Amino acid sequence: MSLFSSIKSMFSSADSGSKEPETLPSEEYQGFTITPAPICEEGGYRVNGLISKGEQSHRFIRADMLSSSDSCAQEMVRKAKQVIDQQGDNIFG
């Protein structure tokens, strides 16, 4: 019975980690739209989101992990603005 429980727990934990990121409100910056979508993982939230302009978009994901969804979203916006300042439209190419 314990072997079955161990196998069941492996599969149930894999299912709980495969949640879609929660998309939070977008922010406009220099003609770009920044949409944070922190990824809930074991140990916190991973910086993730989308930078878009017109029909173009760039998936923005980083290794950074933060303890709350809100702080993660704020960090994603901060880093996205930095990338926009440095690269501008080149982030799409």
Residue 68: HSE in the Cβ half-sphere, 13 Å Cα cutoff = 3
What are the residue boundaries of the structural domains of the chain, listed by start?
19-92
Q: For 53-59, which contacts have Cβ atoms below 8 Å and span 24 or more sequence positions?
A: 53/89, 53/92, 56/89, 56/92, 57/92, 58/91, 58/92
Mean pLDDT for 4-29 is: 68
pLDDT value at position 43? Answer: 87
Q: Is CATH 1.10.10.10 the classification given to domain 19-92?
A: no
Cα–Cα distances in angstroms (integers) from residue 45 to residues 7, 11, 23, 57, 79, in the given order:
26, 21, 13, 22, 15
Mean pLDDT for 25-43 is: 96
Quickly state the pLDDT bin for 13 (edges 50, 70, 90): very low
Query: Rounded to two decimals, what is the model's pTM?
Result: 0.77
pLDDT at 23 over 60: yes
Quickly state the pLDDT bin for 10 (edges 50, 70, 90): low
Q: Report which of residues 62 and 9 the model is more confident about.
A: 62
pLDDT digits (tens, 9 = 90+) for 50-78: 999 999 999 989 999 999 999 999 999 99
